[in-house]
Amino acid sequence: MKKALLLIPIMAVAIAGCITGPTPIPDPDSAAAQLYVAKCSACHSLPHPKRNSYREWQHLLVLMQQRMAERGMPAWTREERDTLLGYLQRHAR
Ligand code: HEC
């Protein structure tokens, strides 16, 4: 009986997390992941790194930089671009 009662709050938290929480991305506390969230959720919801292979990401980042330029958004620095690419390389499909 005691065990069953304990499970209720755990399940409630798990279910609430599914409904309200953002899709968890890998290594969320790293600086790279935080940069990824900051730079890649400005125009659309954050895509999961597993969505594409690294090769596809390389291509997509070029496209995203064009989209940013079209909207007059400042380009990433070289360092930021390398951090984003490195993050995607580690966690790509
Ligand atoms: C300036 C706005 C903007 C920013 C910032 C941006 N995107 Fe996009 N993204 C777009 C637009 C617009 C599309 C729709 C497809 C297109 O027009 O190319 C898109 C589409 C996508 C797609 C779907 C492409 C497909 O056809 O499969 C992915 C994945 C994506 N973006 C990833 C990213 C990532 C990763 C970042 C950060 C590095 C990022 N985006 C930052 C504007 C942006």
**Residue 76 and residue 36: Cα distance in Å, rounded?**
11
Given a contact cutoff of 8 angstroms between Cβ atoms, the answer to whether 36 and 87 are in contact is: yes
User: Which one is predicted more confidently, 77 or 15?
Assistant: 77
Tokens of 52: 């594409």
The residues, any chain, with a CB within 8 Å of residue 67's CB and separated by 6 or more, are: 43
**Residue 2 and residue 7: Cα distance in Å, rounded?**
9
pTM of the model: 0.82
What's residue 78's pLDDT?
97
Take atom 9 of ligand 1 and give the residue whose Cα is closest.
64
Ligand 1 nearest atom to the CA of residue 39, by list position: 37
Residue 7 confidence class, pLDDT cut points 50, 70, 90 = low
What are 18-68's pLDDT values in tens digits?
Answer: 555 566 899 999 999 999 999 999 999 999 999 999 999 999 999 999 999
Ligand 1 nearest atom to the CA of residue 57, by list position: 35
